[in-house]
Amino acid sequence: MWTVVMFDLPVVTKPQRRRATKFRNELLNLGFEMAQFSVYMKFSGSRSAVDTLAYRIRSRIPPEGNVSILALTDKQYGQMQVFNGGARQERDTSRGQLLLF
């Protein structure tokens, strides 16, 4: 499963920009990778891992703004179509696998 966080946070005032930057940095600290400026993704092994991440994210949401959390299966993630300048790009669907010897 994949956890996708999409957000729209106000950045008009300096304190709002600071809160938005802090929120983005906290997503990075939780292991998310930026897909687009306000869209972050992370592979989560199970639905319970998605729920745990959602709980952690909820406690970090700034008082203003809009945040959505979406869970995608591997199949749904693999069906994503990505375009850059009108040209379709292939997504890297590989996840770093841990090798144990």
The token pair that represents 42 in the structure block: 């992370």
pTM tops 0.85: no
pLDDT digits (tens, 9 = 90+) for 9-63: 999 999 999 999 999 999 999 999 999 999 999 999 899 999 999 999 999 999 9
Instruction: Return the pLDDT at 81.
Output: 86
Please identify which residue in the block is written with the tokens 């994949």: 2
What is d(CA 93, CA 51) in angstroms, rounded to the nearest whole number?
22
User: Among 3.40.50.300, 3.30.70.240, 3.40.50.720, 3.30.450.190, what is the CATH number of 2-75?
Assistant: 3.30.70.240
Residue 97: pLDDT over 70 = no
